[in-house]
Chain A
Amino acid sequence: MREFGEMFGIPKFLRLGAREWNGRARGIHGASESATPDRGQKKKTLLQFLSDHFRDVQALREYLLQKQLSKSNWKNRSFANIREKYGPDVTGALFILKHGGAVKFQDKEWIRANERGSFPTEFLNFREVPVEAVDASGCTINYQGMSNLLPLKKLRSLSLERCPHVDDWCLGRLHLLAHSLQELSLAGCPQVSERGLACLHHLQNLRRLDISDLPAVSHPGLTQILVEEMLPHCEVLGTEWAQDLKLEPDRQPQDASSPISP
Chain B
Amino acid sequence: MFRRVLRLGLTPGRQNRGLRTRRGGFTLDWDAKVSDVKQKIECMMPGKQWGMPFDTSYLPPTQSDVVIIGGGILGLSVAFWLKKLESRRGAIRVLVVEQDHTFFFSQYSRASSTGPSVGGIWQQFSVPENVQLSRFSINFLRNINEHLAVVDAPLVDLRFSPSGCLLLASEKDAATLESNVNMQRQEGAKVCLMSPEQLRNKFPWINVEGVALASYGMEDEGWFDAWSLFEGLRRKVQSMGVLLYQGEVTRFITSSSQMETTSGEQVVLKRIHKVHVKINKSLEYQPVECSVVINAAGAWSGKVAELAGIGKGLPGTLQGTKLPVEPRKRYVHLWHCPQGPGLETPLVADINGVYFRREGLGSNYLGGCSPTEEEEPDPTNLEVDHDFFQNKVWPHLIQRVPSFKTLKVKSAWAGYYDYNTFDQNGVVGPHPLVVNMYFATGFSGHGLQHSPGIGRAVAEMVLEGEFKTIDMSPFFFNRFYLEEKLQEYRIL
A residues in contact (CB < 8 Å) with B = 1-12, 14-19, 22, 29-30, 32-34, 36-38, 40-41, 44, 47-48, 50-51, 54-55, 57-59, 61-62, 65-66, 69-70, 143, 168-169, 171-173, 175, 193-199, 201-202, 218-219, 222-223, 226-227, 229-230, 259-260, 262
B465 within 8 A of A: no
Also in contact, A47 and B34, with CB within 8 A (given A9-B54, A195-B159, A198-B161): yes
Which segment, of B57-65, B318-326, B423-431, faces chain A? B57-65
State the Cβ distance, A216 to closest chain B Cβ, in Å.
9
State the Cβ distance, B482 to closest chain A Cβ, in Å.
38
| One of A40, A169, A259, A260 near B30 (C-beta < 8 A) | A40
| One of B164, B289, B342 near A29 (C-beta < 8 A) | B289
Contact between chains at A6 and B238 (CB < 8 Å): yes
A6 to B38, CA, bound (A): 12
Also in contact, A5 and B241, with CB within 8 A (given A36-B27, A54-B41): yes
Interface centre among A4, A54, A229 (most CB of B within 10 A): A4
| One of A48, A58, A70 near B151 (C-beta < 8 A) | A58
Residues on B with C-beta less than 8 A from A260 are: 145, 155
Contact between chains at B164 and A54 (CB < 8 Å): no
Also in contact, A5 and B31, with CB within 8 A (given A19-B59, A47-B37, A226-B361): no
A69 to B54, CA, bound (A): 29
B262-301 CB mask vs A (1 if < 8 Å, else 0) is: 0000000000001000000000001101000000000000
A-B contacts, 21 of them at CB < 8 A, read: A2-B39, A2-B239, A3-B83, A6-B39, A10-B39, A12-B55, A14-B31, A18-B31, A38-B27, A40-B30, A47-B33, A48-B33, A55-B40, A58-B40, A61-B151, A62-B151, A194-B343, A198-B343, A227-B343, A230-B344, A260-B145
Also in contact, A51 and B164, with CB within 8 A (given A70-B146, A219-B361): no
B220 within 8 A of A: yes
Contact between chains at B243 and A5 (CB < 8 Å): yes
Residues on B with C-beta less than 8 A from A218 are: 361
| One of B40, B52, B57, B162 near A54 (C-beta < 8 A) | B40
A2 to B242, CA, bound (A): 10
Contact between chains at A12 and B33 (CB < 8 Å): no
Residues on A with C-beta less than 8 A from B146 are: 66, 69-70
Known: A5-B92, A44-B28. 11 other contacts (CB 8 A): A7-B36, A10-B35, A10-B39, A11-B39, A14-B35, A33-B29, A36-B30, A66-B146, A169-B160, A172-B219, A199-B163
B385 within 8 A of A: no
A172 to B221, CA, bound (A): 9
Residues on B with C-beta less than 8 A from A173 are: 219
Contact between chains at B89 and A226 (CB < 8 Å): no
B218 within 8 A of A: yes
Contact between chains at A6 and B361 (CB < 8 Å): no
State the Cβ distance, A173 to closest chain B Cβ, in Å.
6
What are the nearest 9 A-B pairs in CB distance?
Answer: A3-B241, A172-B162, A4-B90, A15-B58, A201-B344, A5-B241, A6-B241, A5-B93, A195-B161
Contact between chains at A2 and B361 (CB < 8 Å): no
Contact between chains at B55 and A9 (CB < 8 Å): yes
A5 to B160, CA, bound (A): 33
Residue of A nearest to B218 (CB): A175
A21 to B242, CA, bound (A): 24
Residues on B with C-beta less than 8 A from A226 are: 342-343, 361
Give the interface size class of chain B: 35 or more
Contact between chains at B58 and A6 (CB < 8 Å): no
A187 to B157, CA, bound (A): 21
Residues on B with C-beta less than 8 A from A62 are: 151
Contact between chains at B155 and A194 (CB < 8 Å): no
A37 to B60, CA, bound (A): 22
State the Cβ distance, A181 to closest chain B Cβ, in Å.
15
Residues on B with C-beta less than 8 A from A37 are: 30
A12 to B57, CA, bound (A): 8
| One of B33, B40, B222 near A2 (C-beta < 8 A) | B40
Give B207-223 interface residues, CB cut-off 8 Å to A. Answer: 218-220, 222
| One of A10, A57, A202 near B218 (C-beta < 8 A) | A202
Interface centre among A29, A58, A197 (most CB of B within 10 A): A29
Residue of A nearest to B161 (CB): A195
Also in contact, A168 and B28, with CB within 8 A (given A6-B242, A15-B58, A226-B361): no
| One of A3, A12, A70 near B89 (C-beta < 8 A) | A3
State the Cβ distance, A22 to closest chain B Cβ, in Å.
6
Contact between chains at B54 and A36 (CB < 8 Å): no
B3 within 8 A of A: yes
Residue of A nearest to B94 (CB): A5
Interface centre among B37, B157, B163 (most CB of A within 10 A): B37
Also in contact, A9 and B28, with CB within 8 A (given A47-B34, A198-B163): no
B10 within 8 A of A: no
B142 within 8 A of A: yes
Contact between chains at A196 and B162 (CB < 8 Å): yes
Residue of B nearest to A53 (CB): B40
State the Cβ distance, A46 to closest chain B Cβ, in Å.
9
Residues on B with C-beta less than 8 A from A57 are: 44
Residues on B with C-beta less than 8 A from A44 are: 28, 30, 33
A5 to B146, CA, bound (A): 23
Residue of B nearest to A172 (CB): B162
Residues on A with C-beta less than 8 A from B163 are: 195, 198-199
Also in contact, A29 and B62, with CB within 8 A (given A9-B54, A37-B30, A169-B142): yes
A37 to B219, CA, bound (A): 59
Contact between chains at B37 and A54 (CB < 8 Å): yes
B380-411 CB mask vs A (1 if < 8 Å, else 0) is: 00000000000000000000000000000000
B240 within 8 A of A: yes
Give B352-391 interface residues, CB cut-off 8 Å to A. Answer: 358, 361-362
Residues on A with C-beta less than 8 A from B35 are: 7, 10-11, 14
State the Cβ distance, B151 to closest chain A Cβ, in Å.
5
A32 to B43, CA, bound (A): 29
Interface centre among A2, A143, A260, A262 (most CB of B within 10 A): A2
| One of B38, B52, B155, B361 near A223 (C-beta < 8 A) | B361
Residues on A with C-beta less than 8 A from B155 are: 259-260, 262
